[in-house]
Amino acid sequence: MKLWLLLLCCAALSACSTLAPRAGQVEGLFDDALFAPATVPISAEAVFALSPAMRQAFDSEIRPRLQRGDPRRALIEALYGKGMLRLDYDAEMTRTAAEAFDVHAGNCLSLLIMTATFAREAGLPVRFQSVSAGEAWARSGGLLFAIGHVNLGIGRGLASGPKDSDMTEWLTVDFIPPEDLRRRRLEVIDEARVLAMYMNNKSAEALALGHTDNAYAWARAAIGQDRTFTGSFNTLGVIYQRSGHLKEAERALRAALSIEPEHLHAMSNLVGVLGAQGRDGEALALAAELRRLQPAAPFAAFNEGLQRMREGRYAEAETLFERELGRTAGYHEVHFWLAVARLKRGDNRAALSHLRQALDGSTTREQQALYGGKLERLKALGVF
């Protein structure tokens, strides 16, 4: 994991402020009777809670460092540098601050939450920033996930009021290289939005595992935290849809579109819901509008490539996988299948390159073990 630090001032973000977003309609949106109670605790308070183990690490490892120079950099060095904590990136699941600390790993949202918790314990102000990083996608459990990005700003010290806060220099902690971050739009978000993002992630992860009741409870809680976050309404719509409750799914998806009328994911899901209800004319009209806004659907070329692989048409599969790479920013699974296609065509050197890129692009320890194992087996067989 490469952690990037970039000093930004608040003025650099002021131009990114927008009008207050609309709140989605929640009246009649929830039907708890359709789902069993959640089997996991749903708690906003637990997300940023400092555990006893974190407090012990703070007192023994972090606090002594804070007296040496810039306390913000000392904190980050203790968490991600050569200190004893050494946290790492792992996108397998979204974790609370305490959970990320316990396993010393997390995705960008989990690490943001954990870092913010430590920064607050150090008496440092924090702010959360949503980063417009372009389209990024993932697949799991028959679902497509649009991947958002957030980062964290840490101030020098407690500000005495809004005016002082506006003048604070912020150290931005991110996993995007600074030169890329400067080209991205940043928007300051509040803690309610972060909690909604966390709960929406937990909902999507539960749904991918087939835990529909838990997914519903998390999505409901996410909307309760922030009624302007479109993603939670869309997730709720998918939960209803996959549970066979089409009218409820339509209501949730239309609520998402009332917040953001051109939300592509909600539009795409609504096309399916309308079609499943036999409302073909409405579905076709919405699909046409979706194609206008999004000419190429995510993973469309990849899925075509997999079909060509099953048919033994490896050259055509290569072309389709290469096309998908341009859209999915080098997604690890596309690199893997491109490696397989190249192996089938006898281009071992290119196959090795793509397999290594699949390994480098993997975002969970499970994926790393999978691709690393395949690479070693092929080497043992003398393929490379």
Taking the C-alpha atoms of residue 354 and residue 337, their distance in angstroms, rounded to an integer, is 9
Tell me which residue has tokens 């196959």: 351
Domains of the chain: 4-38+49-211 (3.10.620), 300-380 (1.25.40.10)
CB neighbour list of residue 28: distance below 8 Å, 6 or more residues apart: 251
pTM above 0.85, yes or no: no
Q: Report whether 227 contacts 23 (CB < 8 A).
A: yes
Specify whether the CB–CB gap between 145 and 137 falls below 8 A. Answer: yes
Cα–Cα distance measured from residue 125 to residue 127, given in angstroms and rounded to the nearest whole number? 7
Calpha distance 147→137 (Å, rounded): 6
| Per-residue DSSP letter, 140 | E
Nearest to 259 by CA among 292, 300, 231: 231
What are the beta bridge partners of residue 6? 172
From CA 246, how far away is CA 210, in angstroms rounded? 18
**The residue to which tokens 């964290």 are assigned:** 152
pLDDT of residue 30: 97
Distance CA 242, CA 244 (A): 5
Q: What's residue 234's pLDDT?
A: 93
CA distance 379 to 384: 5
Residue 166 pLDDT = 46
DSSP one-letter code for 64: G
Which residue from 256, 250, 255 is spatially nearest to 271, judged by alpha carbons?
250
Are 10 and 165 contacting, i.e. CB atoms less than 8 angstroms apart? Answer: yes
From first to last of its 384 residues, what are the pLDDT tens digits of the chain? 344 444 333 323 333 344 556 787 888 999 999 999 999 999 999 999 999 999 999 999 899 989 888 899 999 888 887 655 666 667 678 999 999 999 888 888 898 999 999 999 999 999 998 887 555 656 655 655 566 788 899 998 654 344 444 445 888 888 665 555 555 677 899 999 999 999 999 998 899 899 999 999 999 999 999 999 999 999 999 999 999 999 999 999 999 999 999 998 899 999 999 999 999 999 999 999 999 998 877 778 888 899 999 999 999 999 998 888 877 667 888 888 888 899 898 888 888 888 888 888 776 777 777 777 777 777 666 666
Amino acid making up residue 383: V
**Which value, in Å, is the radius of gyration of the alpha carbons in the chain?**
23
Q: Is the dihedral of CA 95, 188, 63, 51 positive or negative?
A: negative
Two tokens, residue 107: 């995705």
CA dist 182 → 174, 176, 186 (Å): 12, 10, 9
